[in-house]
Amino acid sequence: MVLNDPIHVHGQEWWRHAVTYQIYPRSFADGNGDGVGDVPGITSRLPYLRDLGVDAVWISPSYTSPQKDHGYDVADYFDIDPLFGTLGDADELLERAHELGLKVIVDLVPNHTSSDHAWFQAALAAGPGSPERARYLFRDSEDGPPNNWMSVFGGPAWTQVEDGQWYLHLFDSSQPDLDWRNPEVGDMFVDVLRFWLDRGADGFRVDVAHGLLKEESLRDQVVEHGKTASSDARDLADVPLVERTERDEPMWDQPEVHDVYRRWHEVLSKYDGDRMLVAEAWTQSPESMARYIREDEMSQAFNFAWLLAPWSASEFTEVITGTLAATEAVHGSPTWVLSNHDVDRHVSRYGGGATGLARAKAATLVMLALPGSAYLYQGEELGLEQVDVAPEFRQDPFWLRTGEPGRDGCRVPIPWSGDEPPFGFGPTAGQPWIPQPTEWAALTVAAQEGDPGSTLSFYRAALAARRTFATTSGDEIEMLDLGADVVAFRRDAVTVVLNCGAEPVDLPAGEVLMASGAVGATLPADTAVWLQ
Ligand code: GLC
């Protein structure tokens, strides 16, 4: 195993400025030709990621799992699912990544297990009142579910078992929530952390980090008159920032959850190489997000406010200033993210087609210039759009529970090469688990690699340019007022300008370091630039 850098300098940990690339294993690269991506597939493509210019990879779960939520339903935290490979394959991936200078962030799923997990099976067998049931949230209730909570995937958050008790699942019924007030649960996860740290993991992305502890009473959610109970902050996407009011969330973001991360901080601090934790916490405000990255807790939290912001200069500006103020208040480092495996791809969110792509590249360029670290989602460097997956291929539990399209459309396998599906996704010509659009022939890695005008070339150039200034320019920025439709700031010697309006805007003086589109004396609509 390759040793990580043993020198720890507070404030200079690798993750503070890292660009991390998210891999969704079943859709990244298929090593064995069964139509589903796997761990050897990932290892074979690591040189591509090194050449792209990222610093780290975060790999969505590949543990043993019945795949009801594609691995976010873990049946064994200490093994790899045969669908994806073996523990030996995971060791090889870690070793190869480290040889290439890439850090590896493992996905950890502590809020719930799979219903196939030995603990849940034991809980069902042991019956009401048993210590086995006490690892989950089983409750009695005579007339319907014990409270009004809704699953994030639709429908009630409770399912009844044969003997009449109900168990809580904030997600699918195959994902029972653990009771984090039971010390056995915390102890098991410390073992999980150490297992993967010992194998060389550089950090953990913590799934549903804001959900582990529920308000102890499990009381009803107070719902505004005329509205239905809702699940989490993702539902806020359609509400402009200024109109958002705090809502009652007894299932999320409880103060006691922070004790868990203080304990994990201690566990990680015993290892060399600045191991890290990044929270997936859909909290309601920058301040509540920042509580997860206080100095004795996690290293980072995904900044979903940036991803939820619509195409609007004032909203982007508010997110930037709000994020920096909140993270500075806790001496933390900000992160920026536009896409992941749970949301519509940002080219499509910004309108799709040429406009969507221009905006996506512009927002990316702004994100890569901001202080802190950035997260990319596989395929965004190819400019991929959300795919309208035919109903017979949809597998997302959200679709199965609600009948709404769900998240399969951002999880379509990556097109690597060739003129027709599966575009080099696997070694055989068989169809991947979701069919790829035939138009992706023009968007394969091979098609874009040699083309200086391609989205892939843009990402490579931006990541290379970022290396030379974003990691050394300090964390201070000064916002500039260049008009209502413009986001503008100066960071050290670089001025960043984004035009969200319909008309070109005048640019301040400076040499163009990087641009997301053609730039002359003025900055066209839907374009961003770095000036020096
Ligand atoms: C997180 C994951 C998502 C998963 C859910 C339940 O939000 O990102 O993909 O479905 O947790 O684990």
Residue nearest atom 4 of ligand 1, based on CA coordinates: 72
Question: How far from the centroid of its chain's Cα atoms is residue 165's Cα?
Answer: 34
Sequence-distant (6+) residues with CB within 8 A of 335 are 278, 300, 301, 302, 303, 372, 373, 374, 375
**Does 280 qualify as catalytic in the annotation?**
yes
DSSP 485: T
Residues with CB under 6 A from ligand 1: 69, 72, 109, 171, 207-208, 280, 341-342
- The Å distance, Cα 184 to ligand 1 centre, comes to 23
Rounded to whole angstroms, the Cα distance separating 318 from 82 reads 46
Catalytic residue among 38, 274, 280, 342: 280
Rounded to whole angstroms, the Cα distance separating 29 from 6 reads 32
- The Å distance, Cα 429 to ligand 1 centre, comes to 31
- The Å distance, Cα 58 to ligand 1 centre, comes to 14
Question: How far from the centroid of its chain's Cα atoms is residue 129's Cα?
Answer: 37
Residue nearest atom 5 of ligand 1, based on CA coordinates: 72
Q: Which atom of ligand 1 is nearest to the CA of 342?
A: 9
- The Å distance, Cα 112 to ligand 1 centre, comes to 10
Residue nearest atom 9 of ligand 1, based on CA coordinates: 342
Mutate to test the pocket of ligand 1, among 177, 204, 208, 282 (most ligand atoms within 8 A of CB): 208
- The Å distance, Cα 171 to ligand 1 centre, comes to 8
DSSP 245: -
Residue nearest atom 7 of ligand 1, based on CA coordinates: 208
Q: Which atom of ligand 1 is nearest to the CA of 170?
A: 6
What Cα–Cα distance (Å) separates residue 466 from each residue in 18, 301, 316, 403? 10, 21, 20, 42
Rounded to whole angstroms, the Cα distance separating 347 from 361 reads 8
Q: Which of 225, 226, 290, 308 is nearest to 253 (CA)?
A: 290
Mutate to test the pocket of ligand 1, among 27, 65, 69 (most ligand atoms within 8 A of CB): 69
Which residue's entry shows tokens 């003129």? 419
Q: Which atom of ligand 1 is nearest to the CA of 398?
A: 10
Residue nearest atom 12 of ligand 1, based on CA coordinates: 72
Which residue's entry shows tokens 């603990």? 119
- The Å distance, Cα 207 to ligand 1 centre, comes to 6
485-518 exposure pattern, b = at least 16 Cβ within 10 A, e = fewer: bbbbbbbeebbbbbbbeeeebebeeeeebbbbbe
Please, where are the H alpha helices in 26-139? 39-44, 46-52, 87-99, 118-126
* The model's pTM: 0.96
- The Å distance, Cα 293 to ligand 1 centre, comes to 20
Catalytic residue among 172, 207, 396, 408: 207
What Cα–Cα distance (Å) separates residue 416 from each residue in 251, 383, 422? 41, 13, 9
Residues of the chain with pLDDT under 50: 1-6
Q: Which atom of ligand 1 is nearest to the CA of 341?
A: 9
Q: Which atom of ligand 1 is nearest to the CA of 171?
A: 6
- The Å distance, Cα 280 to ligand 1 centre, comes to 9
| Model pLDDT, residue 53 | 98
Rounded to whole angstroms, the Cα distance separating 80 from 82 reads 6
Q: Which atom of ligand 1 is nearest to the CA of 397?
A: 10
